[in-house]
Each structure stands twice: as structure tokens, then as C-alpha cells.
A and B are shown apart, each in its own frame.
Chain A
Amino acid sequence: GAGVSQSPSNKVTEKGKDVELRCDPISGHTALYWYRQSLGQGLEFLIYFQGNSAPDKSGLPSDRFSAERTGGSVSTLTIQRTQQEDSAVYLCASSLEGSIVYEQYFGPGTRLTVT
């Protein structure tokens, strides 16, 4: 079956612009996660969705970052007024439910470069 998909695969943007990153989870997965993989910080958790609500936004690095999920499916991560330190690979994962009992399946990531 289809795995987690993300778009775009690569995004180059100028400093100060807004960007939107999209994640399509595996059908039927109620839990969705965003992680960021950067050279300086490694792989870090950003936000967790259970259905359409986000009970844990603790990893979002600043108020320039926001995310939403609609219809219990697609999620969009938005970064406003991008900065060079936002350059990273943004990974999305989904799992059947929001518990570590259930394996998280990762998408291929979106590589964001802020120039």
C-alpha cells in the first residue's frame, strides 16, 4: 500500500518568505508527527497530531512555525518569515494511533534550503 508522502521533495526559498510543507499520511493512521533533521540539531520532534488536534506542539522552535491537519488526514507545516537556520529536512511520520506501541512510518522528507 501507499506509504507516507511529502511534498515538495525539495524547496529553495529566500530568507523572509513563507513556505508550506505538505504531508499525506498512511490512510487510516490517526496519529501524525513532524520531525526536523538538521546538521546542528540532529533529528528533533516538532509536533504531534491525534486526529485533527495537536495536543503536543512542544517541539516547534518559534511562533513562526505552525501546523494544521484537516479531515484527520493531510497535514501542512507552515514556516513564516523563513530564516537560514530553518534550513533542514522536514520529516513527517504517521502511526495507527498515538502510542509508541504502534510503529511510526516516515515519509521521504522535504529538504528546505533558505538562501
Chain B
Amino acid sequence: GDSVTQMEGPVTLSEEAFLTINCTYTATGYPSLFWYVQYPGEGLQLLLKATKADDKGSNKGFEATYRKETTSFHLEKGSVQVSDSAVYFCALSDTNDYKLSFGAGTTVTVRA
């Protein structure tokens, strides 16, 4: 079945540091890939997505590229801020599907 593996946290960074969260997946079809973010006290929000190989999703300074050859969708941000402190979830939905399969989540804390 479909599954998502993402790097375990927690991750603690200083402001303006570079952030990478690794995500790899297994899927039977040709999935769409997502990063969701959960800020403290808030619900899950879609951060970015990519629907085909070599697509790059981007939003709020975050980027992730759909790499079919390595079945990966790593999240990156060049200069994090305190406001980026949150839990980040990698997720996929397989071809013609509707439900999301999530990774375990990575807690990121950014210190001033």
C-alpha cells in the first residue's frame, strides 16, 4: 500500500538557518504529493503540492520538488523565521484517489 516516510524530529534551528525535512514515499500509482503544516493551536493547512515528476511546489519561501527517480519530496526553506515553528506533514494521494496518506510529522522549532 501507499506510505510516506519523513525524517523524525524534533528539529530545532536558529532564525535565518536553512531547513530541510526529508520525505520519501511508496505508491502503487502516480501520486500527487503534498506538504501540510500545523501551527500551534491551529488546524492542518496545505503548504504546497506537486502533481507530477519534476514539478516544484512553493509557498511562503518553502519549496519541494517531486523526484520520481528517488521517490522523494523534500521540503526546504533557505532562511527560517520564528513564525515557521510548526509541525510539518508530508502526504500523498494516489492516482484517481481522494484520501491523503500522511507521514508521521516533523516538529520544527525556530529560536530567535
Contacts and interface: CB of A to CB of B under 8 A. Distances in A.
A108 B99 contact: no
Band of interface residues on B: 10 to 19
B43 A106 contact: yes
Interface residues of A, number: 24
B37 to A, nearest CB: 11
Interface string A45-65: 100100000001001000000
Residue in B43, B97, B102, B105 whose Cβ sees the most chain A Cβ within 10 Å: B43
Interface of B: 32, 36, 42-46, 89, 93, 96-105
12 contacts: A31-B98, A35-B102, A42-B104, A43-B89, A48-B98, A48-B99, A91-B44, A98-B98, A99-B98, A103-B46, A106-B36, A107-B43
Interface of A: 3-4, 31, 33, 35, 42-45, 48, 56, 59, 91, 93, 95, 98-100, 103-104, 106-109
Top 10 closest pairs, chain A to chain B, by CB: A100-B93, A43-B102, A106-B44, A106-B43, A45-B99, A108-B43, A98-B98, A42-B104, A100-B32, A103-B46
Given A91-B43, A108-B42, 7 more contacts: A4-B43, A42-B105, A43-B89, A48-B98, A100-B100, A106-B44, A107-B43
